Amino acid sequence: MKKSMTVVYPVGSGLYVNLTNKCPCNCTFCIRQSAKNEFDHIETLWLEHEPSFEEVVQALENAGVPSYKEVVFCGYGEPTEALDVLLRTADFIKSNYDVPVRINTNGLGNLINGRDITPLLKGRIDVVSISLNSSRPEIYEKTVRPVFREKAFPALLDFAKKAAAVVPSVILTTVSTTITPEDEDECRRLCRSLGVTYRIREYEPLTTS
């Protein structure tokens, strides 16, 4: 497997930040699990090592942040696995650029870090996008295959609710055609009860969540 130090990469009008290879999930649909196929050209998102804060800042400055409409923490791993660098980088962006900051996450950051990290997002993060995948815990666990098993789904929902209290926009997503219309309706109801937005998205390999 080829590795490199692709710390930032553009997708559309966004500049994406790749902080880590680590992820507590083993999703059935994730291209990390794919054999060599049409996604070979992005295998360079596998990092040689986790970038330091200084390396991330250098990559952002080289990329020209002001030319993008947003900065998104999203890569081959789960951004909250590199929480310290994520928070320091968000502070740097807010101090130096007028651009919104988003996290694409599996919503398991509190389990990963062993504490409630949502208060740390206040003033740093403008949008949190969380992969919900299904309204049904049994489908979620079968599809996402988290190391936290049955603890994962309720932790995701709790993370979303707490994040909504401190972040301007929290979005829970499912992928079009992967669940039934009935499940999508349940997801809508679930999101309303949490006070967050529900979005059905098309499959986009590099913008999971």
Six-digit token string for 166: 């401190």
In angstroms, the CA 16 to CA 21 distance is 14
Pick from 128, 126, 114, 208: nearest CA to 161: 128
pLDDT in tens, 107-147: 999 999 999 999 999 999 999 999 999 999 999 999 999 99
Output phi, psi for 173, to 5 deg.
-125, 150
Residues of the chain with pLDDT under 70: 1, 32-43, 203-209
Domain boundaries, the chain: 8-201
Quote the pLDDT of residue 41: 52
Q: Which CATH number fits domain 8-201: 3.30.2310.20, 3.20.20.70, 3.40.50.300, 3.20.20.140?
A: 3.20.20.70
Q: What sign results for the dihedral spanned by CA atoms 76, 106, 85, 166? A: positive
Quote the pLDDT of residue 47: 93
- The residue behind tokens 């829970």 is 172
- The residue behind tokens 């660098």 is 85
